[in-house]
Structure 1
Amino acid sequence: MRLFQNSGLYPSYLPRLNQLAANTRSFAERRDVFLHDRFGAAHFLKPVLDGSPEAFFTNGDDEVLQRRWAREQGMSGEPTLEAILLAQVEHHATEVFYNLDPVRYPSTFVAKLPACVKTTLCWRAAPSGNADFTAYGAVLGNFPSILDIWRGKGCRAELFFPAHDPAMDEYGHSERPIDVVFVGGYSRHHRARARTLEQVAQLAGSRNIVLCLDASRLTKLAESTLGRLLPLRSHRRPDAIAAIAKPPVFGRNLYELIGSSKIVLNGAIDMSGVDRGNMRCFEAMGCGALLVSDAGGYPDGMQEGSTIETYDTPEQAVEVISRSLQDWPRLAEIAALGRARVRDIYRKDAQWRQFGDLVGRI
């Protein structure tokens, strides 16, 4: 199978990538630096991470990366990023195109793919307004209720899961000096999460609490000197959160942070309904921390009281965290079992087999 996997970058991750790849000059060098940093690696298929000659990977929105490829291949002028991505697919003679960034490259892009492409799939685990993915052979995701939304829009939708990144096994085998860590976004889509963070942040007086927040542009504006003169109070972070908030972390720095933490606090975004099992669940358990997350429907291996702990309200989150830290030796055993379960159930080779089965059925 000649596989092409396209992904995308968070704007807040780009400065880290540019720093890591500062001494690279070629497309392959910058791409390899990115893949080694493991940002998003739970979604990357085994042939990509193994460096298989039949697999091609790129970040189609990384202008530095893509323009390097265009120059190396002798493309003239200043082609668009879409034109470069199409040229890469044709050059690779792709048979299966798997897109992790379908909002940027929706059905209109699929219609332009060369004839060598026989199967197209995309990953989308969130509602996306009026985005059209109907030209894809299937939309993949791990939230059943959101898959139903895509089916209602005329798409074929199939259940598919992130996988345990083997690089996680390198982390979390020594002391865990951080009591609780949260890493994630802070925006208008995170109201329930924000209430929980505010409650947990109040533990900072007696516990080592670390909040690494990727604040939205509106939140950053609201907290600026100018923004404090504007009617943006509702977008500012509560004082308890702002007092200890740190910048977001990504890639191997995230693995290292989780590996240094006893508990990873997680909270679903408001639009996810009752489905649970976002990326942070896989990362937290994969690096051996105890996942404390909001109650809901979790996938196999994530079982309350057995491999994870859950809460129903912000106040209960504080209670669960406090109880877990007081009884840490027992809860550390739950975390260790969770790590083993995720590593066993969501292996990369199993993810790749399931992907192959999906391709065969589409």
Structure 2
Amino acid sequence: MRRLIVLAGVVVTASLLMTGCEYDGPTAMYHRPQEETTAPVITALDPPEAPAGVNTIAIEGAHFSDTLACNKVYVDGFPAEITSHSATRLTIRRPNRTGDSTTIQVVNTRALEIASFGPYRIDPVHWPFGHFTTGDELSAVATDGSGNVYVVQRSPRSVYRITSDGEKTTLGEAGRIVTDAVIHPSGAQLIFLMANRSIDRMDVETGEVAEYFRGAKRVSVGDFDVHGNLYAGGSRTALMVVTSALSEKDTGLYGTDEILSIRVYGGSVYVAVRRASGTPSAGIWRHEILDAAGTVGPGVLILDWSEAGAHAGSAIQDMEFSPDGTLLVGTDHADPIFLLHADNSRDILYKSILPGNAVKLRGAGRFLYMLQGGQQWNVLRIDMGETGM
């Protein structure tokens, strides 16, 4: 009986304690009010539409987050890459979306509402050119002043001319495998470099092939200046000059190195080199052209390839200049074209839009022609816009 009385007392005491006390701990998560900031607002996009040549788009507005990770931008529901941010301005890379009525959305993860803006026009920037098939392994591309594009196939060594409106004809056949091609300043001849001492020429009207020059070394790449001098090079050849009078000069430059690409622009010759020793191991040098005979000045390093960011581990394959003087470097990277602007800023051309492996690059007006290598060989026509990148 005594045990029953004690047990009853314990139960009564516990009941009184439970009814007489309140829980003073923190508020449960499901009872907390939502921590909300003001909803983001989009007031304008800069530019107001995205034609070719636009590499980034600025989103003007208010109530974006000062923290990058709290901002999300979507174009037609697909995430876009944010390159810079503030509470009133977000900059994104041109997205891999096209259309006259795309929708831009901004999410601030600290707000409940989403900002939307549209319709927004985004033009396409590249497409296949010349109707080549996957099995057509291609080796060179060149352009002339009339907008014609010349493409050389590796095997068979067919040479095609494609007009600016896409009409394709077979011009002839090269005598050897062509490693680079360039139009002579006269416009009448297509010059073939072939990793050989012989440099050939093809008449662009008749397709007839003959030897243009035979030098002392095997040259693989080259380009002309306005005086008709051809600057050429290859693996351990040094930078050679074939003058307009068809004589040869050895500059003595890069004699133990591999010259990967040569371009003439703005009174200078640019040489992409993989060096046999020393630092940098690869880069691009500029040499001023001093006279009409093709004499070149000392080299100035304009790009140490080890400082090319994510592209530093890729191979330089070719170079070209856009109309505004931006140097475009073709690589085997997944984003194949690296940009070096005149102010030394760096970027990527149409990141996540262009397919990989830019084997050769040649420009004609607002268009850049990229020879796409790898498992799928093709020629891409890339619209650089009215003023280039």
Do the two structures share a fold, i.e. TM-score over 0.5? no
Q: Report which of the two has the higher share of strand.
A: 2
TM-score (norm 2): 0.22
Larger radius of gyration: 2
Q: Report which of the two has the higher share of helix.
A: 1
